[in-house]
Structure 1
């Protein structure tokens, strides 16, 4: 049994990962700005914006899973919102790095969330791997700076795996909830952009796999083996969610009017390789999008 400290534990991924770890008899605790309000989980206080942290959270923990960060799709990207998205990731990581520097206890590993946004907004037939270059858009810049900060755990001698998360499919919220809200479902833009998806069960199992696998000390893409185009996904989603499918695409200008700069996230999409994580021995439960949607609906 291990003691595992999670940041961002109350989020979509954090809650499910907590349940998974607890079901396997691990002790799980959270770092939270609302410490003490959770009935079924021990929580410690921190305030990443000011760098404050209850240092007792670090003592005795075997692993840290770092998920904290403001949602990138929760609000339109104003300049103020961009600062929140960036600072929530960088400041929280800096707070952890400094806390570990000042502690006489070091965890066996830190498993950090990252995002496929690292590669930028581009639709290409070329499959992107963990060694592909970073993009130059806002989200790519955020993710690159985030990983630069999480690299500091590794620089200090702690095994560190960065999990570059794709489009998470879950029935408890997130992307799938937003996609199924309209009464009619239509492709976005050309509909040819790739959708590098992953079922939330596979994602949380991947984080657990990274905890247990001592060889994982680099970035890894967290996407399923068989990506589909936006058009293919939307048509299948309409069928499974019992919504009407309208084959007339939503034009890019309409999405940009509503979403602003954030529209790039849905209008472009790359084919992302998961070969590296598979080579570590990870096995997907949901490697086909229809199988994944059948489970969720």
Structure 2
């Protein structure tokens, strides 16, 4: 068990990436990160940016200098309207990036011991009754199910290069300044909060700080294989809405928001609000990981108050 001196992070400027960078620095780990935006290049001693453009297979090789571990978080946001063109972006931003990293490592014989990659619980079929563990092998027939399947296959390519590989299937990430939570609480704050559909769908959530800690834990203990990145206690959409309203001391008196209304507003992406995946966190806990936010109320109190 030991921390690498320097990690390379893709997607470092995103919601989860920022929290992981913070935790790396707290542990004395220097961060190299790849970005497609030249304006986001920083050259601080412990936080160095390198340019890449996966669309044209361009990458600044110096990003691998002194790096023994990669945290792979890159991927276009799924919270934009899923047009045909954008669906391609969502998929390729996850698969082509992994392939570019692998080709660069292979061609130049860089030594990378360990890769910890993001994945998503969207791979599990929607169900009100299943309790999903990592060994479940049926893949959701949704667009997201297909994306996650291809993504995980792309990440497996690192194993052929002799890297240890861990994949973290991420649930609904709760954070103060980004992701779904500000959107969920916006109507509640205005006194117009309501559950989606019948509100019975399971939401497997995680506090962003705990999620970043899982990535750090995987790096520190050289974990391999698949892990669910969700808190131990999933809630239904109805409970999530109710607890959030309660924490914010706002009333809930509106009827639930019907599925067709959300489909009109969001298109195919509306399924993000109606998919039901109750996911187990036991595997990572059995590895000795301890959640700071195992229950929703304390997590929301931390993020909303």
Q: So what's the TM-score if we normalise by structure 1?
A: 0.95
Contact 1:36 1:43 in 2 (8 A): no
Find the counterpart in structure 2 of residue 273 from structure 1: 280
Match of 1:179 in 2: 184
Partner of 2:65: 59
Cα deviation for residue 59 of structure 1 reads: 2.8
Task: Provide the rounded CA distance (Å) in 1 between the counterparts of 2:249 and 2:76.
Answer: 31
2:222 matches 1:220: no
What is the Cα-based RMSD across aligned positions, in Å? 1.3
Does 2:172 correspond to 1:167? Answer: yes
Question: In 2, distance between residues paired with 1:200 and 1:237?
Answer: 17
1:230-249 equivalent positions in 2, closer than 5 A: 230-249=237-256
SS, match of residue 94 in structure 1: helix
Contact 2:114–2:163 at 8 Å: present in 1 too?
yes
1:294 and 2:304 aligned: no
Q: Give the superposition deviation at 1:119.
A: 1.0
Residue of structure 1 in register with 2:53 after alignment: 47
Counterpart of 2:23 (choices 20, 24, 30) is 20
The alignment partner of 2:239 has SS state of: helix
Q: TM-score, normalised by structure 2?
A: 0.93
Q: Which residue of 1 aligns with 2:131?
A: 127
Give the total of aligned pairs.
294
Structure 1 counterpart of 2:8, from 5, 14, 20: 5
User: In the TM superposition, what whole-angstrom CA distance separates every residue of 1:43-93 from its partner, at most 9, and x where no partner exists?
Assistant: 1111111111111212320211011100001x1111111111111111111
8 Å CA contact 1:62, 1:108 repeated in 2: yes
1:29 aligns with 2:35: no
Which among 74, 89, 93 is matched to residue 94 of structure 2? 89
> Residue 105 in 1 paired to residue 110 in 2?
yes
Q: In the TM superposition, what is the alpha-carbon distance from 1:105 to its structure 2 partner?
A: 2.1
Residue ranges of structure 1 left out of the alignment (5+ in a row): none
Q: Name the counterpart of 1:206.
A: 214
**Structure 2 residue runs without a partner (length 5+):** none
Output the CA distance in 2 between the equivalents of 1:210 and 1:35.
30
Give the C-alpha shift of residue 161 in structure 1.
0.5
Matches within 5 A, 1:131-170: 131-132=135-136, 133-170=138-175
- Aligned partner of 2:197 in structure 1 is 189
